[in-house]
Amino acid sequence: MKVLKRKYARMIVVLGFVVLLSIGAAAAFRHDPMILRCSLGVLAASVLLIAFIRWRYLRCPHCGKSAAIVYWAPGWRQSCPKCKKEILFDDQI
Ligand SMILES: [Zn+2]
């Protein structure tokens, strides 16, 4: 049975917080070019990393056409909008 790894879902969740924090930092320090540049750099890097991890590790294990919605912990079951098969993580089996 093909499953997705929860650790990648958790990386996405953590990176999501990093994105929010860097947006907050960029807004709070918008008059400080040094901090502004750093937080925008972190923001861009996190967004790219999220896109890469979702594309590389979190696509539907059955058809590969859709990316799974990520959750920190098991509990909610989802199915692929394209092939209608259930998408499972490694802690749900
Ligand atoms: Zn699918």
Residue by residue, pLDDT tens for the chain (93 residues) are 789 999 999 999 999 999 999 999 999 999 999 999 999 999 999 999 999 999 999 999 999 999 998 989 888 889 999 999 999 999 987
pLDDT value of residue 63: 95
Ligand 1 midpoint to CA 11 (Å): 22
Ligand 1 midpoint to CA 88 (Å): 11
Structure tokens at 20: 């929010």
Angle between helices 33-57 and 6-28 (to 10 degrees): 160
Q: What angle do CA 77, 81, 44 make, to 5 degrees?
A: 85
pLDDT value of residue 4: 95
Burial (CB < 10 A; 0-12, 13-18, 19+), residue 84, is exposed
Ligand 1 midpoint to CA 15 (Å): 25
Distance CA 10, CA 39 (A): 22
pLDDT value of residue 2: 87
pTM across the whole model: 0.87
